[in-house]
Structure 1
Amino acid sequence: MAPDGALRPIRGAARCAIAALALAGVAWAARAVWHIRLAGAGRPASGLPDQGNGVHRPLTALEDAYHSVSSAGDAVTVICAVAFLLWLDRARDNARVLSGTKPRYGYPWLFLGWIVPVMNLWVPRGMVADVHGSVFPDRKLPFVVNCWWGLWLAGLAGGVGLIYADSTDEVIARAYSGVLPLLAADLMIVAAAATAALMVRTLTTAQRQRMDEAARPTS
């Protein structure tokens, strides 16, 4: 958090967040490709990887490759989450300085808002909307904010989000039994990443314009 009255540089944080979101979109698209490949290959005659009662058969080459893709995607998603939160932290601090009002949600919610059940259905969007609304109270919230949140919730409902709710072997089983819901959720998250990048750019541009106005000497 910045000291009271101090504006924080935000352009670099926004660029990092946009790059990380683009990379996350690519990672989720790669998962979708492997889901299609698994569905096309069909369940092996030896059954599912997790055969119950703690018994796991050796993975096929395709399943083993999916484990690697999934692990890489998880790492990219963590990096994306960190980059996005760093941007949001700076944007919130600048909004507080520019508006002279405290954020609607305290600092702990920057992290807890994503993981506390029920609260995670609206707190993250509320924090982003607060960044815009506190600085531009007379402007309508950009449509891209609601678009991003709607896509994120749609993907979350499909069993994805920061990480899958299921284990990797359970996701493989889902791909074998019915891949379409899985692909729909993948598509929602890829679209959410793209709209999140656009949202970061839109809000950062608006905030920087307001920062430039505040920095101009008054006559």
Structure 2
Amino acid sequence: MHLSHGRLRPVGGVAVFAIAGVACDSLVGVATAGINLWYASLVDRMISDFDSVSGAAIRTGELLVLGSEVARIFIFLVAASGFLAWLFRVRANAVSLSLNGHRYGRSWLIAGWVMPIGWFWIPKQIVDDIWRASTPPDSAKGLINAWWAAWLTAWVTAKATWGLVYISIDMEGIAFALRLEVVGIGLMLIAAMLAIGVIRKITAVQETLRSTPPADPAPSKPPPVSGAPEPAAAS
């Protein structure tokens, strides 16, 4: 069931917020990758000759690594808030465009990201339903598929990195975990670029629909005026 485009709310503002959050998260990720690579090389020196690295350098490296991780968590939460604000807006518009075809209720826009196992597919299906409601039938969603594949790969890599950091008890393990996190950050950057593409594409579609008035219904034939003579039948 498709409804009037006049009920759509503007999306551009929240899209800018979401894109800015993703971009800031990416910049902090790049800085973190640089710090990790530097500290990993410092750990390599410690492995070869522990006395070649001063205690001040070790403490500085530890503080930089810790500070970059705290910054990443904070900026990630800001970026996630922006993305969710955009997601809530475009989903509300998608429901206005089509009441049918949405597999999950509004609460799943948050719950889907934290539900064990379910986070592998629920958020992707929510975005698929938004795309389906906002675009013509059979519109290609290759960008959405690529974004989700990159996001899952990056997130699984990040979880593996955190696990290694916690269980590493020697310097070789720490250096490996730091470099693995750099790989995960690279994957996150790919996912971030694709996420920005998804945001821009869905936003553009809904903004176009919002600015396009619905087609006027075909004019109906006026009823005959009471007392007016009927037209003569053709012989």
Distance 1:75 1:178 in 2: 21
Distance 1:61 1:38 in 2: 9
Match of 1:23 in 2: 24
Match of 1:190 in 2: 189
Match of 2:227 in 1: none
Distance 1:104 1:33, change over 3 A: same
Match of 1:145 in 2: 144
Distance 1:92 1:197, change over 3 A: same
Distance 1:185 1:139, change over 3 A: same
Match of 2:216 in 1: 218
Matched-pair contact (CA < 8 Å) for 2:39–2:61: yes
Match of 2:99 in 1: 100
Distance 1:168 1:77 in 2: 20
Gap regions ≥5 residues in structure 1: 47-58
Matched-pair contact (CA < 8 Å) for 1:26–1:190: no
| Offset of residue 108 of structure 1 | 1.4
What is the root-mean-square deviation of aligned Cα atoms in Å? 2.8
Distance 1:171 1:114, change over 3 A: farther
Structure 2 SS opposite 1:154: helix
* Bigger Rg, structure 1 or 2: 2
| Offset of residue 99 of structure 1 | 1.8
Distance 1:192 1:19 in 2: 15
Distance 1:75 1:10 in 2: 25
1:135 maps to a residue whose letter is: S
| Offset of residue 137 of structure 1 | 4.8
| Offset of residue 140 of structure 1 | 2.4
User: How do 1:1-219 and structure 2 match up within 5 A?
Assistant: 6-42=7-43, 44=46, 45=50, 60-101=59-100, 103-160=102-159, 165-166=162-163, 174-213=173-212, 215-216=213-214, 218=216
- State the Cα deviation string for residues 122-147 of structure 1 (Å, max 9, x = none): 11111111111123251323322111
Segment drifting more, 122-131 vs 173-182: 173-182
Structure 2 SS opposite 1:8: coil
Q: TM-score w.r.t. structure 1 length?
A: 0.81
2:146 maps to a residue whose letter is: C
TM superposition outliers: structure 1 runs of 4+ over 3 Å? 43-46, 164-175, 177-180
Distance 1:42 1:186 in 2: 20
| Offset of residue 211 of structure 1 | 2.0
Distance 2:126 2:85 in 1: 13
| Offset of residue 191 of structure 1 | 1.1
Structure 1 SS opposite 2:137: coil
Distance 1:30 1:22, change over 3 A: same
Match of 1:55 in 2: none
| Offset of residue 167 of structure 1 | 9.3
Gap regions ≥5 residues in structure 2: 1-5, 52-57, 218-235
Match of 1:56 in 2: none
Size of the alignment, in residue pairs? Answer: 201
2:21 maps to a residue whose letter is: A
Segment drifting more, 70-79 vs 37-46: 37-46
Distance 1:203 1:16, change over 3 A: same
Distance 1:168 1:24, change over 3 A: farther
1:115 maps to a residue whose letter is: V
2:184 maps to a residue whose letter is: A
Percent identical: 25
Structure that is richer in helix per residue: 2
Structure 1 SS opposite 2:33: helix
